[in-house]
Amino acid sequence: MSVLDDIIAGVREDLEARKLKVSLAQLQDLIAARDPALDAWAALGGDSPRAGVKVIAEVKRRSPSKGALAEIADPARLAGKYADGGAAVISVLTEERRFGGSLADLDAVRAAVGIPVLRKDFTCDPYQIWEARAHGADLILLIVAALGDAELAEYLALAHELGMNALVETHTSEEVQRAVAAGARIIGVNVRNLKTLDVDRSVFGSLAGLIPAEALVVAESGVRDADDVRAYAGHGANAVLVGEALVSHATPGERIAEFGSAGAAAISAAAISAEATATADSGRALS
């Protein structure tokens, strides 16, 4: 059994317990009383995709690969620092067994910030999508490796029906193809293999070019510093999802601002390089 399979087995057990406490009808009533979801597509630069690199800042207590990362006694306060630092979206881990998260964390963050919130979990049942919106999420995570094609299309459609966006996560070229075929507009490339937990940052560069220009591309995992952000931006990232490098930093808001500046500089340099190449090609054609 892979690490991903093991995580999902636990998620399913915990999900069945929650279903006994809160019915789908109750979730639907909660959704009806909520304001509409915020537009994560626009927040991530969907209307001007090369204007800069957005930061999805994550509330993350621990991970299967690193263990404990941070205490995070007050997730709302941390999310506020993220938002003040310029984060475009706040990601909240809600998986409890491996990541120490909860829906209570999602509730606290949603109440504290006015920007889109991503429910970061291992979605394997439509109930979780209703649950995410009922707790105020504007964006959900769909992991292609964990879903069949029919499930991926169904869950993506349900998210859109509820007014949310979906970050569709990939790790291989075949998964990118499946995400595109399903109609994903926000496609993540996770450089961490969820089946082994190994990290290979070169994966992003090899896959980002396979994603259509009309989609937003999110680099997931492996962001240690501004150099990593610059590298991802140079390969076409519209956004980076960052957890450990923020929760373990004394001033996460300043680090978010640093990452944003690094991404913008990389995009500007790439544009200048492309313009110079085009000019040189034009000159050769005329000579």
CATH of the domain at 162: 3.20.20.70
Beta bridge partners of 93: 120
Q: Which of 63, 91, 165, 190 is catalytic?
A: 190
Position 269 confidence tier, pLDDT thresholds 50, 70, 90: confident
Q: Which region among 36-40, 202-206, 218-222, 262-266 has the lowest average model confidence (pLDDT)? A: 262-266
Mean pLDDT, residues 41-56 taken together = 86
Active site residue 220: yes
Q: Which of 31, 52, 45, 39 is nearest to 216 (CA)?
A: 45
Report pLDDT for 285.
59
Number of domains in the chain: 1
Q: Which of 205, 203, 155 is nearest to 178 (CA)?
A: 155
Active site residue 154: no
Report pLDDT for 250.
86
> What are the structure tokens assigned to 185, written together?
């507009």
Q: Which of 245, 269, 4, 264 is nearest to 141 (CA)?
A: 4
Q: Which of 95, 131, 169, 244 is catalytic?
A: 169
Residue 136 backbone dihedrals phi, psi, to 5 degrees: 95, 10
Q: Which of 54, 58, 91, 131 is catalytic?
A: 58
Mean pLDDT, residues 242-270 taken together = 87
Residue 152 backbone dihedrals phi, psi, to 5 degrees: -60, -45
Residue 45, burial from CB neighbour count under 10 angstroms (0-12, 13-18, 19+): middle
Active site residue 60: yes
135-to-27, 128, 212, 229, 253 alpha-carbon distances in Å: 9, 10, 32, 31, 25
Q: Which of 60, 91, 95, 175 is catalytic?
A: 60
In sign, the C-alpha dihedral spanning 12, 152, 110, 236 is: positive
Q: Which of 95, 131, 220, 244 is catalytic?
A: 220
Domain that holds residue 173: 3-286
Beta bridge partners of 117: 90
Active site residue 131: no
Report pLDDT for 15.
97
**Which tens digit of pLDDT belongs to each residue from 52-76?**
899 999 999 998 888 888 889 999 9
**Which tens digit of pLDDT belongs to each residue from 182-199?**
999 999 999 999 989 999
Taking the C-alpha atoms of residue 172 and residue 176, their distance in angstroms, rounded to an integer, is: 6
Average pLDDT along the chain: 92
Q: Is the pLDDT of residue 272 over 90?
A: no
